[in-house]
Structure 1
Amino acid sequence: MRNTKTAEPWIEQGLGPFGPAALKPYSRTRFATDGSAFLKIYVGIDPEGRRQREVATVERAALWGISVPAVLATGNDGAGSWTAFQAVDGTPCSVSTHSAIEEYIGYVVTVNRGLHRPVADATPGSGWEARRAGVVSPHQFLLDQFSPRCRSLPWWAVLSEALQPVDSHPVVRLHGDLKPEHLLIESERLHVVDWEASACGPAVLDYTDVVFHLVRDLLYEGTPPGRIPVDLLTRLPFSGPVLAWRLLLWLDRRRTHDIDLVTVHDIYRLAAEEQAASAYRSLAQTVELLRAADVPR
């Protein structure tokens, strides 16, 4: 892997030419016209931190035997923070049918079985590096991801207290964003991409993120709340407080007023739920109301 300061890395490194950019909220991705590589430009929240985190994590994950796209070049220059990766073959997981969702959940379990291994030096925080000075607790790490304005909102004290039990969970390495499109299937081989949200924390964070994205995305694609496959989701480790946290984090990163659409009662009810099935049904109902209120996906 080469680090460069050139202004046009995709030209200078001989990896292109690259096609039009595929836009996501926090990145722009361009694929080489010959299919050999793709260029990711980080935008939005902390682009340079996310670049460094993804590069370091991908290289470490490869050492653990996880199939990841190799880093070809990376830099921070006039083009922004960027990384060029070697392309990997494979088809993203589908969630279009009950059986496809079941298969996707199986892949999530497989990835996390290898990823969530006990690591002596793992401490809560973004990325996989060890942190010794000023280490925060797992629940504080979660609270620190909110924007400062959230501390004055009515539900803050409720969520802060509800999250404290996660401090007893072991701290492991996390992918941080195991969406279906980040798991690529090639015959019998599984490739894992998009590691910029990697972190260390309780394993339930990865599982809760999977559940939240699946419920939200199915609802926004038109699936009725009553048809969300709760029976499949209950296979995954569950935490009501972490589920409430994930819902609020989504809203905090949308329009300023969107987070005001949920009440203290909504958060208390979700955080206090001890049964996964009931919690996921409650989440689906809440997200459906937010979708009806035009909260962007």
Structure 2
Amino acid sequence: MGGTGVAEPWTGHGLGPFGPAVHKPYSRTQYATDGSAFLKVYVGIDPDGRCRREVATIERAALRGISVPPVLASGGGEAGSWTVFRTMTGTPCSIGTREAVERYIGHVVAVSGRMHQPTAGVTPGSGWVARRVDLRLSHQFLLDQLSSRCHRLPWWPVLGTALQTIDTHPVVHLHGDLKAAHLLVDGDRLHVVDWEASARGPAVLDYTDVVFHLVRDLLYEDAPLGRIPVDLVTRLPFSGPVLAWRLLLWLDRRRPQDIRLVTVHDVCRLTADEQDISAYQSLAHTIVRLRAAGVPR
């Protein structure tokens, strides 16, 4: 970014200069050279929408007593959709040991207690600000996040039918991506970052996302199958259909051919399993197979 002789829009807010960019699948991040702030430029899927949702959600999360990174400036234009946040101190949660995973799950439960408070009139959708177009059922909100190529795959009707069970769940405000790296421990304080995936839906969506990232990340870091602490996440609400959906969402956003590696049997096994530990073990075995097939993390 830069190099054209034209001032970047955030310089008008007195922000910067920023150092080298760290590239992620859907964003570029740069830290201020003095460490006081960081710049996020949104790329890929709906960059403007994700930018606006993150800024709006952070404002509302702060009102619920959640420690979030203050927004210093946000905008769009030739530079793309971007936000500058004040840097939050703290250390990301670890999942390197069983004890670390147990602490991480405790932090998830604590922050979820502030987020998942019942709120009248909340409907499923992206972000925390409801719009008229968001009037749909929870299962349809999830299906809509999968690409059109999924509609033609043999497991599509199985998933659609199984997900209808979540339509009876209360709709709450969600972070959408409570993986360990997004929870910063700062002494006795917990800061929550990266709110661009914020949404409204059943609380089990947040909890399933936690389990999925925990299992996938440990396996991609070469943890043996027998060392995956699936028993520790039984503190969290469970839904086999949502677990299957989360696995498929991951694959749908990787290489085009990866989504075809999941069979009807895989989806049926996860959606029909009523026992959380056995379902998480099935998830782990499936991820091991997918990694062996070359699916990128």
Q: Could you tell me the TM-score, scaled by structure 1's length?
A: 0.96
Does the Cα contact within 8 Å between 1:159 and 1:245 map onto a contact in 2? yes
Quote the Cα distance in structure 2 between the aligned partners of 1:258 and 1:134.
30
Quote the Cα distance in structure 1 between the aligned partners of 2:93 and 2:15.
27
Quote the Cα distance in structure 2 between the aligned partners of 1:20 and 1:130.
36
Change (3 A) 1:101 1:119: same
Give 1:134 deviation, angstroms: 6.0
Per the alignment, residue 90 of structure 2 pairs with: 90
Map 1:130-279 → 2, pairs under 5 A = 130-132=130-132, 135-279=135-279
Per the alignment, residue 15 of structure 2 pairs with: 15
Amino acid at match of 1:122: V
Does the Cα contact within 8 Å between 1:137 and 1:167 map onto a contact in 2? yes
Map 1:86-125 → 2, pairs under 5 A = 86-125=86-125
> Which runs of no fewer than 5 residues in structure 2 stay unpaired?
1-5
| Aligned: 1:287 with 2:287 | yes
Aligned length: 292
Give 1:129 deviation, angstroms: 1.1
Does the Cα contact within 8 Å between 1:10 and 1:17 map onto a contact in 2? no
| Aligned: 1:65 with 2:68 | no
Does the Cα contact within 8 Å between 1:69 and 1:88 map onto a contact in 2? yes
| Aligned: 1:76 with 2:88 | no
Does the Cα contact within 8 Å between 1:7 and 1:78 map onto a contact in 2? no
Does the Cα contact within 8 Å between 2:220 and 2:291 map onto a contact in 1? yes
Percent sequence identity over matched residues? 71
Instruction: Provide the secondary structure at the position in 2 that maps to 1:30.
Output: strand
| Aligned: 1:46 with 2:26 | no
Instruction: Provide the secondary structure at the position in 1 that maps to 2:20.
Output: strand
Instruction: Provide the secondary structure at the position in 1 that maps to 2:83.
Output: strand
Change (3 A) 1:133 1:262: closer
Quote the Cα distance in structure 2 between the aligned partners of 1:134 and 1:274.
30
Instruction: Provide the secondary structure at the position in 1 that maps to 2:111.
Output: helix
Show CA shifts across 1:156-199 (max 9, x none): 00000000010000000000000111001110000000000000
Per the alignment, residue 3 of structure 1 pairs with: none
Quote the Cα distance in structure 1 between the aligned partners of 2:134 and 2:43.
28
Map 1:29-40 → 2, pairs under 5 A = 29-40=29-40
Does the Cα contact within 8 Å between 1:252 and 1:258 map onto a contact in 2? yes
Give 1:26 deviation, angstroms: 0.5
Does the Cα contact within 8 Å between 2:123 and 2:134 map onto a contact in 1? no
Give 1:231 deviation, angstroms: 1.1
Instruction: Provide the secondary structure at the position in 1 that maps to 2:146.
Output: coil
What is the aligned-residue RMSD (CA, Å)? Answer: 1.1
Show CA shifts across 1:189-215 (max 9, x none): 000000000000000000000000010
Show CA shifts across 1:204-233 (max 9, x none): 000000000010000000011221001101
Show CA shifts across 1:120-163 (max 9, x none): 02100001112345611000000000001111110000000000
Amino acid at match of 2:268: Y
Quote the Cα distance in structure 2 between the aligned partners of 1:237 and 1:10.
42
Does the Cα contact within 8 Å between 1:32 and 1:38 map onto a contact in 2? yes
Q: Could you tell me the TM-score, scaled by structure 2's length?
A: 0.96
Quote the Cα distance in structure 2 between the aligned partners of 1:243 and 1:70.
32
Does the Cα contact within 8 Å between 2:125 and 2:134 map onto a contact in 1? no
Instruction: Provide the secondary structure at the position in 2 that maps to 1:20.
Output: coil
Per the alignment, residue 3 of structure 2 pairs with: none
